[in-house]
Amino acid sequence: MAKKYCYLFSEGNANMRELLGGKGANLAEMTGMGLPVPQGFTISTEACTQYYEDGRQINPDIMAEINEYIGKMEEITGKKFGDHENPLLVSVRSGARASMPGMMDTILNLGLNEEVVEVIAEKSNNPRWAWDCYRRFIQMYSDVVMEVGKKYFEELIDEMKAKKGVTQDVDLDADDLKELAAQFKAEYKEKIGTDFPSDPKEQLMGAVQAVFRSWDNPRANVYRRDNDIPYSWGTAVNVQSMAFGNMGDDCGTGVAFTRDPATGEKKLMGEFLTNAQGEDVVAGVRTPMPIAQMAEKFPAAFEKFQNVCKTLEDHYRDMQDMEFTVEHGELFMLQTRNGKRTAQAALKIACDLVDEGMRTEEEAVAMIDPRNLDTLLHPQFDAKALKAATPVGKGLGASPGAACGKVVFTADDAVAWHEKGEKVVLVRLETSPEDITGMKASQGILTVRGGMTSHAAVVARGMGTCCVSGCGDIKMDEANKKFELAGKTYTEGDYISIDGSTGNIYDGVIPTVDATIAGEFGRIMAWADKYRVLKVRTNADTPADAKKARELGAEGIGLCRTEHMFFEPDRIGAFREMICSDTVEEREAALAKIEPMQQADFEALYEALEGCPVTIRFLDPPLHEFVPTEEADIKALADTQGKSVETIKNIIASLHEFNPMMGHRGCRLAVTYPEIAIMQTKAVIKAAIAVSKKHPDWNIVPEIMIPLVGEIKELKYVKNFVVETADAVIKEAGVDLKYEVGTMIEIPRAALTADEIAKEAEFFCFGTNDLTQMTFGFSRDDAGKFLDAYYDAKIFENDPFAKLDQTGVGKLMDMAVKMGKEVRPEMHIGICGEHGGDPSSVEFCHKLGLTYVSCSPFRVPIARLAAAQAAIASK
């Protein structure tokens, strides 16, 4: 049997969302519930995918089926397309599985032409209404289907209003509107070159095609990427018989929510306009009245509407967002859906629904979008001000939150301005460890280069500071402290606003509002913890970050990047001495300075974690990242080491590598300089012993993690130094301390030989930043430059550094888990790449059976919720 592409509203239901889209499935459900829905049919999402498969064409079979369903609709309504007695007019609306504001929305009054408009004018005895419908139709069709552009038509309306000396559209009479319709058609012909289509079926096919086409417009593509909606889903099209809100003062149209979408409060919220059609409410042409006033205007319809609201909320067991029309006092429902809401409202509504006995705790947990929690944990832009603002550029939303401040170009300036009480945004080509104090002093960080796992992104996320990275459109002139974006030159002190969630950059000041965590947050989190299986740890390098993460519910540290402990100005010196040593003795002398600092840091981490596990990863990055670049710093280093500036410069030059990410880093550092691993082992074990002594009730088992292992012998070689050193320290202290030595799985070869590796590694932790980098062969610092081209070409839908590539990288992980556990069934396996805080990646980790995910502190609640949702979904 041929595939079915069209469904009458009476043929569907709410469970058919995948096929009918959200709008279509709910129209069908409301029809089934006996609610007053103008009837029609839905063209399925499969017709949309077929349209793309057929080279962006509606094939003859689908066209024939659409025509057949128009026939059915004509039978049901008793009206006919183009008829001179009883003409059928329809609305055409897009409706994907998930609601998508980036797409085409609505065309109203389709089916009108020069003759039909006269028929309805006469029949209704309301020519003003008839011509109003016609001019609206031409306007919407031209804009949405033919992309002529709204503004030409709005200019014509404004001219007409000026000519008639009126200010409101409703003050234009039938003749004015008739004249406008003629002007619109002339405008259409001038822009498109052909007459405005008069055949309703041709109009409909054009509109359907426009909906399908809108699935692939740039706005929709960006929205999908930001909201994890696959391109393959496609959109459905709903063809619905018109109900008219613009037939006179006993008509109207409105939108309403069953609860307040901003606060979650249980009360009917919404807006209503008399003698109007849907888009008037949204477009702001006239100021709508609060929904409560509908009670006075249309008492009977309002009462019915209130009943419908209750019925729908009880039925869907969630807050509903509805559109409706009143035609001559009679209520028609045009749409219902679970309403979009702020994170705050989402938490309150979920808790209230549990208290009202409408939802179980598990369902409440599943209702919250984990990504929205970000807005509760970071400052946000004032919603009104944001709405009025237009971005001047876009980078990657690398660390969420909003920031507004004066532009500064160096970390030192950031600190100096901050000390003067100024709020600043640090704008850099890219950041390096030297910038850390400046980053801390800034409201936000904006970089020209770098991806989601670049230094700026990782560090900013750790600090919870807003960051937009990789905005390649910025023409940076760091030397002269200025940059150019969207035709404007910004100099030091100019105001800029950035949004680390969307990556948008705005000129000037957009006020921010601070984060507030409401009481419901704790309740939902407690439920999440009850149902999740995955543990959630954090990536934290400082006691402050660790403390924050504990407050947000982290159950351990999954990754302490020990090199990050040397970013502070009073530490970096000793670290540079270590790097710029040219004998073992010199290096050991520098390491001796570092050891007590590391030990103190580790003690503070163990204290902050109160006996929870702490994984400490040994030195990993390419060392050149830490060497001084400023002349004064080079001189200072030379002086401390008793070397010439020339010698230091030569050492720095010798550290240069062509591919530092694949160069002398990770365990390779420990292989060449075992003294580094030895020092770090001493610091870890001594710290654990000291803190255990203070807290005998804590069971501290140090976890030492060797990075970038690809070959079992590498691990064995380094592990020998670790074990020898640790055992000696423990013996000398005369204590009984257990410790584990494990490895990161972040090189494809480690995953491929995980059974071998597991013979030595007591635990695994997936470093999916490097694993992604090396599996794709994409530099994590440079991928931002070409990813946009990959999105445009539909090669990628997402940034693989943000959302785990389950097909490729995931396969390596799956293999490694299975092979590792075969050798060492009791081993714990985690993930500490940036994916550990991404909801869909967390779900994947749950399915793989990992022990924990580890993410930056502010993502801990997101991971807890996502882990619970994964567990609940797989029940």
832 contributes a contact to ligand PEP by CB under 6 A: yes
The one among 323, 435, 577, 620 contacting ligand PEP by CB under 6 A:
620
Nearer to Mg ion, 543 or 767 (CB): 767
Please report which helix (H) or strand (E) contains residue 425, including its range. strand 424-428
Please report which helix (H) or strand (E) contains residue 842, including its range. helix 839-848
The one among 767, 784, 820, 830 contacting ligand PEP by CB under 6 A:
767
We find the least distance from the C-beta atom of residue 395 to ligand PEP, in angstroms, to be: 20
746 contributes a contact to ligand PEP by CB under 6 A: yes
Tokens 């990993």 found at: 620
31 contributes a contact to ligand PEP by CB under 6 A: no
We find the least distance from the C-beta atom of residue 806 to Mg ion, in angstroms, to be: 19
The one among 675, 703, 770, 781 contacting ligand PEP by CB under 6 A:
770
The one among 24, 833, 837, 839 contacting ligand PEP by CB under 6 A:
833
258 with 270: CB under 8 angstroms?
no
Tokens 């029949």 found at: 123
Q: Encoding tokens for residue 375?
A: 């807005």
**For 657-780, where are the alpha helices, taking DSSP H only?**
667-672, 674-694, 712-733, 748-752, 754-760, 768-776
Site string for ligand PEP, 130-169 (x = CB under 6 A): ----------------------------------------
Contacts of 653 (CB under 8 A, 6+ apart): none
Instruction: Tell me the β-bridge partners of 495.
Output: 406
Backbone φ, ψ for residue 166 (5° rounding): -120, 165
We find the least distance from the C-beta atom of residue 707 to ligand PEP, in angstroms, to be: 7
We find the least distance from the C-beta atom of residue 680 to ligand PEP, in angstroms, to be: 15
Nearer to Mg ion, 264 or 666 (CB): 666
170 with 136: CB under 8 angstroms?
no
Give the range of 185-193, 345-353, 548-556, 764-772 binding ligand PEP by CB under 6 A: 764-772
Cα distances (angstroms) measured from residue 757 to each of 112, 561, 689, 808:
72, 22, 28, 20
Nearer to Mg ion, 577 or 770 (CB): 770
Distance CA 404, CA 498 (A): 6
We find the least distance from the C-beta atom of residue 559 to ligand PEP, in angstroms, to be: 6
435 contributes a contact to ligand PEP by CB under 6 A: no
Nearer to ligand PEP, 406 or 561 (CB): 561
3-state secondary structure of 442: coil
280 binds, among Mg ion, ligand PEP, none (CB under 5 to 8 A by kind): none
We find the least distance from the C-beta atom of residue 782 to Mg ion, in angstroms, to be: 16
Tokens 């948008």 found at: 504
We find the least distance from the C-beta atom of residue 669 to Mg ion, in angstroms, to be: 13
Q: Encoding tokens for residue 814?
A: 């799956």
261 with 269: CB under 8 angstroms?
yes
- Catalytic residue positions, numbered: 455, 832
We find the least distance from the C-beta atom of residue 770 to ligand PEP, in angstroms, to be: 3
Distance CA 221, CA 491 (A): 33
Rg (CA), the chain: 32
Q: Encoding tokens for residue 274?
A: 């008399």
We find the least distance from the C-beta atom of residue 467 to ligand PEP, in angstroms, to be: 15
Residue ranges in contact with Mg ion by CB under 5 A:
746, 767, 770
We find the least distance from the C-beta atom of residue 771 to ligand PEP, in angstroms, to be: 6
748 contributes a contact to ligand PEP by CB under 6 A: no
Distance CA 354, CA 69 (A): 42
Site string for ligand PEP, 299-338 (x = CB under 6 A): ----------------------------------------
Please report which helix (H) or strand (E) contains residue 226, including its range. helix 218-227
361 binds, among Mg ion, ligand PEP, none (CB under 5 to 8 A by kind): none
**For 228-360, where are the alpha helices, taking DSSP H only?**
278-283, 294-297, 299-316, 343-355
Nearer to Mg ion, 500 or 767 (CB): 767
**For 451-490, where are the alpha helices, taking DSSP H only?**
455-463
Give the range of 241-249, 497-505, 763-771, 781-789 binding ligand PEP by CB under 6 A: 763-771
**How does strand 402-408 pair with strand 424-428?**
parallel
768 contributes a contact to ligand PEP by CB under 6 A: yes
Nearer to ligand PEP, 434 or 563 (CB): 563
Nearer to ligand PEP, 181 or 832 (CB): 832
Give the range of 181-189, 226-234, 267-275, 762-770 binding ligand PEP by CB under 6 A: 762-770
The one among 241, 769, 841, 869 contacting ligand PEP by CB under 6 A:
769
Give the range of 8-16, 407-415, 726-734, 768-776 binding ligand PEP by CB under 6 A: 768-776
CA angle (285 as vertex; 283, 289 as ends), nearest 5: 90
How many chain residues bind ligand PEP (CB under 6 A)? 10
3-state secondary structure of 231: helix
Site string for ligand PEP, 2-21 (x = CB under 6 A): --------------------
- Of residues 547 through 586, those in contact with ligand PEP by CB under 6 A are 559, 561
Question: Pick from 117, 155, 122, 118: which is nearest to 137 by CA?
Answer: 117
Nearer to ligand PEP, 770 or 843 (CB): 770
Q: DSSP string spanning 237-262? A: EEEEE---S-SSTT-EEEEEESS-TT
Give the range of 363-371, 384-392, 584-592, 765-773 binding ligand PEP by CB under 6 A: 765-773
Nearer to Mg ion, 393 or 666 (CB): 666
Cα distances (angstroms) measured from residue 108 to each of 89, 101, 584, 615, 784:
8, 18, 79, 60, 41
Nearer to Mg ion, 318 or 746 (CB): 746
Residue type, 3: K
- Give the chain's end-to-end CA distance (angstroms, integer): 36
We find the least distance from the C-beta atom of residue 856 to ligand PEP, in angstroms, to be: 11
Strand order from edge to edge, sheet including 106-110: 6-8, 40-43, 235-241, 90-96, 106-110
Nearer to ligand PEP, 648 or 677 (CB): 677
688 with 643: CB under 8 angstroms?
no
Give the range of 260-268, 372-380, 387-395, 761-769 binding ligand PEP by CB under 6 A: 761-769
List residues binding ligand PEP (CB under 6 A).
Answer: 559, 561, 620, 746, 767-770, 832-833
